């Protein structure tokens, strides 16, 4: 029963007669930024709230949970305004739906930002309805009642009803249009250290990831793809594979051959026994050296200017001192600990999918296309995600699982091996950067020129999309610099290759900000200025960032001398609506870099969930340092040379620095938190290496140079 609709507010979908109170509410979905799509301003309900007569408050979360916390911070925000008893909160993961929940895409550090207002309103709406229901029952003035810890209390008489007792009645109350929200200074849950709701399940083996899905009659599938990018099967002989015990059937789909078996192991063994002749296609001779040379050649091209001011050519030569540098970054992989996987069950009139995806709606679209079914016949269940970092924005594994299930007419679990996962990633693009800058006699930065040469993710996804050779997102982090520089230019030379690329936590910012913050450091030294002071004098137009830079410097003891052998470096960034500064302390001994301490200051407006925030910053640092210190996918003979963690090592516990996170609550506009910790980490470390050794790192990973 739909009793009232207000496109900008709430929609009560059910109520009364044992159903309790069910609210859904509209959230503006602006979260397409991470894919470079235009913001979608339409309003659709993407949070659902149910209070049933037992008192349980169920919050349906339509964002994917991969450790970044929506299963905790969504309920925190609702419970805050609802004055709910935290113990009564239950979370349900939403299936994919084209419009019921707005955008379910999980990326771009958008979770809190896009839902904050509406989650608060939702909680406040339900609270007001419960209070109204209680006042009616007692026949008293609504203003003499208040809500607290899951009950409504009548102040003068101290009588109370629990939310469960009121749920049915509340469902009959008209939906208030402008329920008051709390003053942030009265928050009891938001801003406090709340343990994540899924923690117990994650500590006991009960958490269900995609890989843990079992459905009746399911076969396990392993799919061989051509190791060369763009290659495919020429012919294959399955005789030996069929002879492997446990192998049930073999099907070919458009990008490879799948072995279906009674167990994962049998499927993997069968797959290894396949005799396949590959048609390697046009990229068989592609390698990292060629790509590097191509970038170098392209660097002589005139870039398309993304941003400029003043007279850059003149300023570069008129400065007292000028510096030039070339920076290079390699391809790197996402490699979440849970390899790509998907369970699909395609039947004649329906398709059911279980998948750890960051974009379940696209999974639904793609399955509908492949099966020819209308979307409402395609059910997509979202499991827990064993990491994502942007890899699970793509649904290539869903496509494959659906095709295999369709071809074999059985439910299948497609599990990628680690080798599949590392060799068929959408890598963070490699890039090359030409920088020049000049400082004047007083040590002021007067000219800045940054040319970025590298592939465009957007162009690879839809060729021909950028008519003028300009993909603005490739310059993210290079443009909109927080510093005031009188003359500057930032330009892009698109240099596409056949290596598949995609969004990697903070996307182009993790490369561009590495370059920007390293080169700022170079110029500070050229100007004989302290790198901190050099930055601060240019940050007046960015007060929030300036504040976190000052904070991090103070907390890190920037002015205090370090013991011999240690170096300190600073870097900062404003991105995803947040402002972050990091100070690294490193030592270099016998060529080995060791990061001892990372001090971070962050302003994301209000730290809604400080626990998750700290964990996200710490995680971002580990991901960024792993990339900076060791990460490189090299291309050889048209394929990724590294295929597992023996050749692509990750940072380990013994290498882990101390991480200190300082939250600066500015109470300004909210920012995201999943990604902003990444970009400053690598430059802070490289700037620290310079201060410790005098060696400037201009090519990642660091392991190659020191």
Partner 1 sequence: MASISLSVNGKKETIDVQPDTPLLWVLRDTLGLTGTKYGCGIGACGACNVHMDGEVTRSCATPVLSCDGKSIVTIEGLEQNGHLHPVQEAWIKEDVPQCGYCQPGMIMSATALLKKRRHPTDADINDALSGNLCRCGTYNRVRKAIHLAAKNGGAQ
- Judged by DSSP in three states, 453 sits in strand
337 in contact with partner 1 (CB under 8 A):
yes
Question: Which of ligand FES, partner 1, none is residue 615 near (CB under 5 to 8 Å by kind)?
Answer: partner 1
- Candidate residues 20, 28, 45, 67; the one interacting with ligand FES per rule CB under 6 A: 67
Residues 412-431 touching partner 1, rule: CB under 8 A, are 415, 417-418
- Interatomic CA distance for residues 323 and 523, integer angstroms: 7
Q: Given the structure tokens 């051509």, which residue do they identify? A: 226
- Judged by DSSP in three states, 64 sits in coil
Residue 260 C-beta: closest distance to partner 1, Å: 13
Residues in the chain: 706
Applying CB under 8 A, the span of 192-200, 310-318, 477-485, 634-642 interacting with partner 1 comes to 192-200
Question: Which of partner 1, ligand FES, none is residue 195 near (CB under 5 to 8 Å by kind)?
Answer: partner 1
Residues 531-550 touching ligand FES, rule: CB under 6 A, are none
Which CB, 5 or 215, lies closer to partner 1?
Answer: 215
Beta strands in 604-690 (DSSP E): 635-636, 639-640, 658-663
Q: Given the structure tokens 């979440």, which residue do they identify? A: 336
Residue 548 C-beta: closest distance to partner 1, Å: 21
Q: Given the structure tokens 């940050």, which residue do they identify? A: 539
198 in contact with partner 1 (CB under 8 A):
yes
Q: Given the structure tokens 């439910």, which residue do they identify? A: 411
| Cβ count near 143 (within 10 Å) | 9
What number of CA atoms fall less than 13 Å from residue 667's CA on the CB side? 3
578 neighbors 604 (Cβ within 8 angstroms): yes
What number of CA atoms fall less than 13 Å from residue 407's CA on the CB side? 18
Residues 236-255 touching partner 1, rule: CB under 8 A, are 245-246
Which CB, 338 or 471, lies closer to partner 1?
Answer: 338
Residue 381 C-beta: closest distance to ligand FES, Å: 21
Which CB, 404 or 622, lies closer to ligand FES?
Answer: 622
Burial class (CB in 10 A: 0-12, 13-18, 19+), 459: middle
- Candidate residues 645, 667, 669, 704; the one interacting with partner 1 per rule CB under 8 A: 645
Residue 336 C-beta: closest distance to ligand FES, Å: 7
Distance of CA 258 to the CA centre of its chain: 30
Applying CB under 8 A, the span of 102-110, 258-266, 282-290, 574-582 interacting with partner 1 comes to 258-266
Applying CB under 8 A, the span of 163-171, 479-487, 518-526, 643-651 interacting with partner 1 comes to 643-651
- Candidate residues 387, 569, 672, 683; the one interacting with ligand FES per rule CB under 6 A: 387
Percent of the chain as helix, strand, coil, to the nearest 5: 30, 25, 40
Question: Which of ligand FES, partner 1, none is residue 274 near (CB under 5 to 8 Å by kind)?
Answer: none
- Interatomic CA distance for residues 455 and 352, integer angstroms: 36
Q: Which residue, 392, 408, 404, 410, is CA-closest to 355? A: 392
Residue 411 C-beta: closest distance to partner 1, Å: 15
Question: Which of ligand FES, partner 1, none is residue 642 near (CB under 5 to 8 Å by kind)?
Answer: none
> Which residues pair with residue 250 across a beta bridge?
259
Which CB, 511 or 616, lies closer to partner 1?
Answer: 616
Give the x/- contact pattern for partner 1 in 342-371, rule: CB under 8 A.
Answer: ------------------------------
Residue 677 C-beta: closest distance to ligand FES, Å: 15
61 in contact with partner 1 (CB under 8 A):
no
196 in contact with partner 1 (CB under 8 A):
yes
Using CB under 8 A, count the residues that bind partner 1: 63
Which CB, 32 or 90, lies closer to partner 1?
Answer: 90
Give the x/- contact pattern for ligand FES in 330-369, rule: CB under 6 A.
Answer: -------x--------------------------------
What contacts 494, CB < 8 A, 6 or more positions away?
A: 304, 454, 455, 456, 459, 466, 469, 470, 471, 474
Residue 649 C-beta: closest distance to partner 1, Å: 8
- Candidate residues 20, 191, 619, 671; the one interacting with partner 1 per rule CB under 8 A: 619
411 in contact with ligand FES (CB under 6 A):
no
386 neighbors 64 (Cβ within 8 angstroms): no
Residues 376-395 touching partner 1, rule: CB under 8 A, are 384-389
Q: Which residue, 495, 430, 513, 460, is CA-closest to 687? A: 513
| Cα radius of gyration (the chain) | 27
The secondary structure element, H or E, covering residue 148 is strand 145-148
Q: Which residue, 66, 11, 615, is CA-closest to 392? A: 66
Beta strands in 320-459 (DSSP E): 321-329, 341-346, 351-355, 378-382, 412-415, 431-439, 445-454
Which CB, 650 or 705, lies closer to partner 1?
Answer: 650
312 neighbors 489 (Cβ within 8 angstroms): yes
Residue 516 C-beta: closest distance to partner 1, Å: 24
Q: What token pair was written down for 198?
A: 């899924």
Residue 557 C-beta: closest distance to partner 1, Å: 20
Residue 626 C-beta: closest distance to partner 1, Å: 8
- Interatomic CA distance for residues 207 and 507, integer angstroms: 29
Question: Which of ligand FES, partner 1, none is residue 320 near (CB under 5 to 8 Å by kind)?
Answer: none
What are phi and psi for residue 523, nearest 5 degrees? -70, -35
Residue 532 C-beta: closest distance to ligand FES, Å: 34
Whether omega before 290 lies within 30 degrees of 0, making that bond cis, reads no
647 in contact with ligand FES (CB under 6 A):
no
Residues that bind partner 1 in the complex, under the rule CB under 8 A: 66-68, 195-196, 198-209, 211-212, 214, 220, 245-246, 262-266, 269, 335-339, 384-389, 415, 417-418, 611, 615-616, 618-623, 644-646, 650-654, 656, 658-659
Residues that bind ligand FES in the complex, under the rule CB under 6 A: 67, 337, 387
């Amino acid at each position: 029963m739909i009793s009232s609709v207000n496109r900008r507010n709430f929609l009560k979908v059910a109520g009364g007669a044992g159903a309790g109170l069910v609210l859904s509410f509209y959230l503006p979905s602006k979260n397409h930024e991470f894919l470079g799509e235009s913001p979608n301003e339409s309003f659709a309900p993407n949070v659902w709230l149910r209070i049933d007569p037992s008192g349980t408050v169920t919050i349906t979360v339509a964002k994917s949970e991969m450790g970044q916390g929506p299963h905790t911070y969504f309920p925190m925000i609702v419970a805050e305004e609802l004055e709910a008893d935290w113990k009564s909160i239950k979370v349900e993961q939403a299936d994919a739906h084209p419009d019921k929940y707005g955008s379910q895409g999980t990326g771009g550090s958008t979770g809190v930002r896009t839902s904050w207002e509406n989650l608060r309103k939702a909680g406040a709406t339900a609270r007001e309805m419960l209070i109204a229901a209680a006042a009616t029952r007692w026949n008293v003035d609504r203003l003499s009642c208040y809500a607290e810890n899951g009950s409504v209390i009548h102040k003068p008489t101290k009588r109370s009803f629990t939310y469960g007792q009121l749920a049915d009645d509340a469902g009959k109350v008209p939906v208030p249009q402008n329920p008051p929200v709390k003053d942030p200074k009265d928050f009891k849950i938001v801003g406090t250290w709340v343990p994540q709701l899924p923690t117990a399940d994650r500590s006991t083996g009960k958490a269900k990831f995609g890989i843990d899905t079992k459905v009746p009659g399911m076969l396990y599938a392993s799919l061989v793809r051509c190791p060369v990018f763009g290659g495919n099967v020429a012919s294959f002989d399955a005789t030996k594979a069929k002879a492997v015990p446990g192998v049930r059937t073999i099907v070919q789909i458009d990008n490879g051959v799948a072995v279906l078996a009674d167990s994962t192991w049998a499927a993997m063994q069968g797959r290894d026994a396949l005799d396949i002749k590959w048609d390697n296609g046009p990229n068989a001779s592609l390698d990292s050296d060629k790509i590097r040379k191509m970038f170098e050649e392209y660097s002589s091209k005139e870039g398309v200017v993304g941003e400029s001011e003043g007279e850059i050519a003149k300023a570069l030569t008129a400065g007292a001192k000028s510096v030039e540098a070339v920076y290079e970054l390699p391809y790197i992989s996402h490699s979440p600990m849970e390899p790509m996987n998907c369970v699909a069950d395609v039947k004649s009139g329906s398709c059911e999918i279980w998948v750890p995806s960051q974009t379940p709606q696209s999974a639904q679209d793609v399955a509908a296309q492949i099966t020819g079914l209308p979307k409402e016949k395609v059910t997509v269940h979202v499991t827990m995600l064993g990491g994502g970092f942007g890899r699970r924005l793509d649904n290539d594994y869903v496509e494959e699982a659906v095709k295999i299930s369709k071809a074999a007419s059985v439910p299948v679990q497609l599990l990628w091996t680690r080798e599949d996962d590392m060799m068929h990633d959408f890598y963070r693009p490699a890039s090359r950067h030409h920088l020049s800058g000049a400082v004047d006699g007083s040590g002021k930065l007067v000219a800045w020129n940054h040319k970025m040469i590298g592939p465009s993710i957007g162009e690879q996804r839809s060729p021909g999309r950028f008519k003028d050779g300009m993909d603005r997102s490739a310059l993210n982090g290079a443009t909109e610099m927080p510093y005031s520089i009188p003359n500057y230019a930032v330009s892009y030379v698109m240099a596409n290759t056949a290596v598949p690329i995609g969004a990697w936590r903070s996307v182009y910012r993790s490369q561009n900000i590495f370059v920007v913050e390293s080169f700022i450091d170079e110029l500070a030294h050229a100007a004989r200025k302290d790198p901190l002071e050099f930055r601060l004098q240019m940050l007046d137009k960015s007060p929030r960032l300036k504040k976190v830079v000052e904070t991090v410097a103070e907390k890190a003891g920037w002015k205090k001398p370090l013991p011999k052998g240690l170096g300190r470096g600073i870097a900062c960034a404003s991105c995803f609506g947040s402002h972050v500064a990091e100070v690294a302390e490193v030592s270099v001994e016998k060529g080995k870099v060791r990061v001892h301490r990372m001090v971070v200051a962050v302003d994301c407006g209000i730290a809604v969930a400080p626990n998750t925030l700290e964990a996200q910053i710490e995680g971002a640092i580990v991901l960024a340092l792993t990339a900076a210190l060791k990460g490189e996918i090299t291309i050889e003979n048209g394929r990724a040379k590294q295929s597992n963690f023996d050749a692509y090592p990750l940072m380990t516990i013994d290498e882990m620095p101390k991480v200190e996170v300082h939250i600066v609550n500015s109470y300004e506009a909210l920012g995201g938190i999943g990604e902003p910790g990444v970009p400053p980490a690598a430059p802070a470390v490289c700037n620290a290496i310079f201060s410790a050794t005098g060696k400037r790192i201009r090519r990642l990973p660091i392991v190659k140079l020191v």
